[in-house]
């Protein structure tokens, strides 16, 4: 991984963490579980990006790292599903 790419990747990690913190604040303000799920998902995206950058993983798809991303997007899907059909563990106010 080039120096430039490491730099950009690190910036993306910081961005994902910050986005996660924003969603956490929105959750505290509204008590809407959708924001809690989004917060967790973005934290996992940050972890995923971190592992790619410093984990010495040659390419993302050759290791378990992609499982982090799977869980992150599964959380988003779960949040949307329960917003629509669930008994509101994520969806309610």
Partner 1 sequence: MKENDVLAFLSATVKSLWALELLLLMRRERTRAWKMTALVAELRASTVVVQDALAGLIGAGLIAEDETGFFCYRPVSEMLDSFVAEAQALYAAKPLAVINAIAAAPNEKLRIFSDAFRLKD
Partner 2 sequence: MHFWASAVYLLCLIASLVCAWLLTRGYVRYRTRILLWSAACFALLAVNNLLMVLDIVVFPQTDLSLARTCCSLLAVGTLLYGFIWEID
Q: Which residues bind partner 1 (CB under 8 A)?
A: 26, 29-30, 32, 34-35, 79-80, 83-84, 92-93
> Nearest 10 degrees: CA dihedral of 5, 8, 10, 14?
-160
d(CA 89, CA 54): 35
CB of 55 to partner 1, least distance (A): 32
Taking alpha carbons only, the member of 41, 49, 48, 46 closest to residue 80 is 41
Report phi then psi at 44, rounded to 5: -65, -35
Would you list the DSSP string of 48-79?
HHHHHHHS--SSGGGSTHHHHHHHHHHHHHHH
CB of 51 to partner 2, least distance (A): 13
* Residue 8 lies near partner 2 (rule: CB under 8 A): yes
d(CA 7, CA 24): 26
67 binds, among partner 2, partner 1, none (CB under 5 to 8 A by kind): partner 2
* Residue 67 lies near partner 2 (rule: CB under 8 A): yes
CB of 53 to partner 2, least distance (A): 9
List of residues contacting partner 2 (CB under 8 A): 1-2, 4-5, 8-9, 11-12, 15-16, 18-19, 22, 26, 42, 45, 49, 59-62, 66-67, 69-70, 72-74, 76-77, 80
């Amino acid at each position: 991984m080039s120096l430039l790419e490491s730099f950009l990747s690190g910036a993306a990690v910081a961005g994902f963490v910050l986005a996660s913190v924003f969603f956490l604040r929105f959750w505290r303000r509204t008590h809407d579980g959708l924001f809690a799920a989004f917060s967790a998902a973005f934290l996992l995206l940050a972890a995923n990006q971190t592992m790619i950058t410093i984990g010495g993983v040659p390419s993302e798809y050759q290791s378990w790292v992609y499982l982090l991303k799977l869980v992150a997007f599964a959380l988003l899907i779960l949040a949307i599903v329960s917003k629509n059909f669930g008994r509101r563990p994520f969806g309610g106010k």
